[in-house]
Amino acid sequence: MHVIGLQGQPRRMMNWTEARAGEGFFNLGFWNRVASVGSYILAVGVLVFLINVVYTHTSKKVGKAPLDPWDARSLEWMTTNPPKVHNFDVVPTVHALDEFFHRKYEEDPETGAVTKVATAEEIMAEQEANADKNIHMPSPSYWPMVLALALPIMAYGVIFTRVLIVVGGLLLLLSMFAWALEPSVADDSDYDPPADTGGASKELALDV
C-alpha cells in the first residue's frame, strides 16, 4: 500500500480506469486490489488472535505457561512468570551473548556435546534465594500523561494555529521539568536495607 502510494495512487479512489491505473508492472489498479486482499488477510489474522485470547482465558484445558516454555536463550526469559515490575531483584551478570542458554547448558570442550546442567526452575529458585527483598520502586507520577497530552496540542497547532504550538510547547517544558524535579512520596528510610535483628547470633549462641 505504501509503495503504490509512492507511485502516485490517490487516496479514496473507488473506480479505476485504464488511464488512471497505468500499464506494466506498476499498474496501480492491480496492486490496489492486492493491497485490498492483504487487508482482509490481516483482518483474519487479528480474528484468529482474538479467538485464541478468549480460548486461552476461558478453557480449563489450557494451564499456566511454565517459566521457560521455549527453552529460551536470552535474558528476557530469565525472570518470573509473570515478570516482576522491576524484572530482576539483582541485575544479572552477563558472561555470554546467550546468557540464559549458557546457564542451562554446558559444552564439552573435547566432543562439543551440549549437556543440560540446570532447569529454568532451578535457576529461578537460586535467583529468588539471593534476591534483594528491599526493592523500592519509584512512586507513580501523572506528569508523563501531561507530557503526552502536550504532543497532540502541538500537532493541532501545526494544522490550525501557531498559538497551540506555543501552548503545547510550554506544557511540554513544564511537564518535563516537573517530572524530573518531582520529589518521591516515600520516606528516605524506605531505601535503607532491613536492620539486623541479631537473630542469627542468638541462634548460634543457643546451638553452642
pLDDT confidence of residue 126 = 87
Judge whether 197 lies within some domain.
no
| 41 shares a domain with 86 | no
| 152 shares a domain with 123 | no
Which residue in the block uniquely carries the three cell numbers 521455549?
70
Cβ contact 123:131 at 8 Å? no
Residue span of the structural domain in which 11 resides: 2-58
Task: To the nearest 10°, report the CA torsion of 149, 152, 154, 159.
Answer: -160
Judge whether 7 lies within some domain.
yes
| 50 shares a domain with 8 | yes
In this structure, what C-alpha cell is assigned to residue 174? 513544564
Whether the full predicted model's pTM is greater than 0.75, yes or no, is no
| 149 shares a domain with 114 | no
| 84 shares a domain with 41 | no
Mean pLDDT of the chain: 82
For residue 17, which of 6, 32, 2, 3 has the smallest C-alpha distance?
Answer: 32
The number of domains in the chain is 3
pLDDT at 208 over 50: no
Q: For 85-108, write each residue's pLDDT tens digit.
A: 888 888 888 988 999 999 999 988
| 7 shares a domain with 53 | yes
| 123 shares a domain with 88 | yes
Q: For 35-86, write each residue's pLDDT tens digit.
A: 889 999 999 999 999 999 999 888 877 777 788 889 999 988 998 888 888 8
Judge whether 190 lies within some domain.
no
Judge whether 25 lies within some domain.
yes
pLDDT confidence of residue 206 = 46
Judge whether 26 lies within some domain.
yes
The helix (H) or strand (E) run that includes residue 84 is: none
Report the DSSP beta bridge partners of residue 114: 107
| 147 shares a domain with 118 | no
Compute the half-sphere exposure of residue 64: CA atoms within 13 Å on the CB side of its CA. 5
Judge whether 69 lies within some domain.
no
pLDDT at 194 over 70: no
Return the SS3 of 107: strand
